Structure 1
Amino acid sequence: MFKNKPIRPDAGAIDTLIGPQVTIRGDVVFSGGLYVEGHIQGKVIAEAGGRAVLTVAEQGSIEGEVQVPVVVINGRMTGDVHALERIELATKARVQGNLHYKVVEMSAGAQLTGRLVHADALPAAHDAHEVAAQADAWATADA
């Protein structure tokens, strides 16, 4: 069924496919491999403790926050992405949001409207509002 999909060998197996005619409104929690050709409007979260890979195909899209260890985007993404391991932006990727990553790979042609935030670059603040306030203070100090 998935033999014709151009999946990289290190991307892992596909456990769940959201086809091109499918729209999901609500949060998706998964483990293993999730391949999105359709549309998700809601958060996409990997279950803790397992290996998880999210792949957004060229015709796929997600509107919402993503929290997955490995994220491969070749479609549209609107929202922040938190990847504990790696983010790959393929040539057709169109991302509006901040990318929080340890390793990032961006192909020529990919578009990002947002910030790249390395995991080690964030201060040890426990509250997202503290981080945002610190970032605003840094921006004001630089001006």
Structure 2
Amino acid sequence: MLSRKRQEPTSRHADTSLIAQGTIIRGDVRFTGTLHLDGRIEGTVLGEGSNAVFTLSEQGQVQGEVRVPHAMINGQVNGDIYASERLELAAQARVIGDVRYNSLEMAAGAQVNGRMAHQGEDHVQRELPAPEVRSEPATV
């Protein structure tokens, strides 16, 4: 008889948080793992860690910024979206704000009312150098 090592059940949804339809959160939300929103967030949505995934259902709404590595949007966002890795805009997605992404998939019917800009991995926000300060010799 073959001996099988019993594996512990591993759920892909073990690190998933759900905000149900009818729930309104006023304030910023920070999360790791996956956040699935069917309700409404009035504040910034911030995914921490390179594997953080934000999913917004058709019923879901965000009134504020979304800053995550991975986002799947199928509801309404009134604010800017910053997806450092991948952004998926499904057919019911409605975004009023600017969108920055590394990789983008946009379904027919998705709407963005704002600017869209690609930011690759080599994208570094550069600041202008500080102006040189010239010291004049003191006059007596």
Say whether the fold is shared (TM-score over 0.5).
Answer: yes
Structure 1 position 77, deviation (Å): 0.4
Matched to 1:112, the amino acid is V
Cα deviations by residue, 1:40-93 (Å, 9 ceiling, x for unpaired): 00000012x341100000000001111100011000001111111011000000
- Deviation track 1:93-134 (CA, whole Å, cap 9, x = no partner) reads 01001111001110001111011111149673248xxxxxxx
Fraction of identical pairs, as percent: 45
Q: Partner residue of 1:4? A: none
2:21 alignment partner, SS class: coil
Higher normalized strand content (fraction of residues): 2
Once superposed, what is the RMSD of the aligned Cα atoms? Answer: 1.9
Unaligned segments of structure 1, at least 5 residues: 1-11, 128-143
Between the aligned partners of 2:22 and 2:127, the Cα distance in structure 1 is 40
Partner amino acid, structure 2, of 1:32:
G
| Rounded Cα–Cα distance in structure 2 between residues aligned with 1:65 and 1:107 | 21
TM-score normalised per structure 1: 0.75
- 1:115 corresponds to which residue? 115
Cα 1:125–1:77 shift into 2, 3 Å = same
* Equivalent position amino acid for 1:19 in 2: A
What does residue range 12-91 of structure 1 map to in structure 2 within 5 Å? 13=13, 15-47=16-48, 49-91=49-91
Query: Residues 28 and 93 (structure 1 numbering): CA distance in 2 closer, same or farther, change over 3 Å?
Result: same
Amino acid at match of 1:51: N
Whole-angstrom distance in 1 between the partners of 2:87 and 2:127 = 23
Q: Which has the higher helix share?
A: 1
User: Rg: which structure is higher?
Assistant: 2
Counterpart of 2:31, as a letter, is F
Task: Tell whether the 8 Å contact from 2:17 to 2:36 is kept in structure 1 after alignment.
Answer: yes
| Alignment check: 8 A CA contact 2:99 2:116 kept | yes
Runs of 4+ in 1 over 6 A off after TM superposition: none
Aligned residues: 115
Gap regions ≥5 residues in structure 2: 1-11, 129-140
C-alpha distance in 1 between matches for 2:57 and 2:38? 5
Find the counterpart in structure 2 of residue 93 from structure 1: 93
TM-score (norm 2): 0.76
